[in-house]
Chain A
Amino acid sequence: MPTVELDDGRTLAESNAIIRYLARGSDLIPADAFAAAKMDEWLFWEQYSHEPYVAVCRFQMAYLGKPASDLDPDKVKRGYAALARMEHQLALTRFLVGDAISLADVSLLAYTRLAHEGGFHLDGYAAVRRWIGETEKSLGLPPAR
């Protein structure tokens, strides 16, 4: 999940592939080819270096009821490493790819805004917290916390 069935019956899976298809031609994908590639860099990174740690820790705590002390320390360490990479970028730019929101922000917002449910503390990540608020506002979402 998720899976999308288009009007004509064709189906598409993988969240980042789906949003990339649905947002084609919109302002959620940078017009500049290199900026669009940087957006893709974040989308692939999200699935390989962020979601497996930040989202999985949240799943184990919020869905399976594990206490934070039972989480795999390596997953926690890699989760914080992912948050640190975002913090580094977001201290430089308003959104992940420059000054305009893109699919990179949509994708990474999904689990970063819920990181606390996986035992992650964002106290030392001021730029990430600022970005969560701005991205939620831009998408018309109520604050996650």
Chain B
Amino acid sequence: MLWGNLFMRGEWEYVKFLSVKNTVVQANNLRAQSATSSDPHNARTDLTANTAAVSDAAAVREPAQSMKIYGDTKSGNCLKVKWVCDRLALPYTWVDVDTLKRETRTTQFSSSTARAGADRRA
């Protein structure tokens, strides 16, 4: 665990350096980092921290793909997933599936907007 954390720290510095030159590269690195980490909790924490750091630079670019949640916001079973993502600040794209009207509408949430989204869509 200790060595794992030290390694993650090294990655963080590396990513931070790259971000000065190219924000898109940073986003890709973040995704690779979270995908290869053996400790999902740490990976998630770093992802959140990095996303917050970039927003200060006013050069935020959403990852090309984020997790997609297909659900109906009136369904309790779907809201469970949304609440967990919002509480843990996991980035996601919500694809609204209205079972009665058969319509889909897509809304993207970054970890920084997820909390605001909770109020809008609850």
Interface residues of A (CB under 8 A from B): 1-8, 15-16, 18-19, 22-26, 28, 51, 55, 63, 103, 106-107, 109-111, 114, 139-142
Contacts and interface: CB of A to CB of B under 8 A. Distances in A.
Nearest to A25: B41
A15 B118 contact: no
Given A18-B81, A142-B122, A114 B75 contact: no
Contact of B76 (A19, A24, A111): A111
A23 B80 CA distance: 11
A4 B90 contact: no
Interface residues of B, number: 37
Nearest to B39: A25
B72 A1 contact: yes
Given A18-B81, A110-B79, A142-B122, 4 more contacts: A15-B78, A18-B80, A106-B80, A110-B77
B97 A1 contact: yes
Given A2-B75, A110-B77, A28 B31 contact: no
A121 B78 CA distance: 24
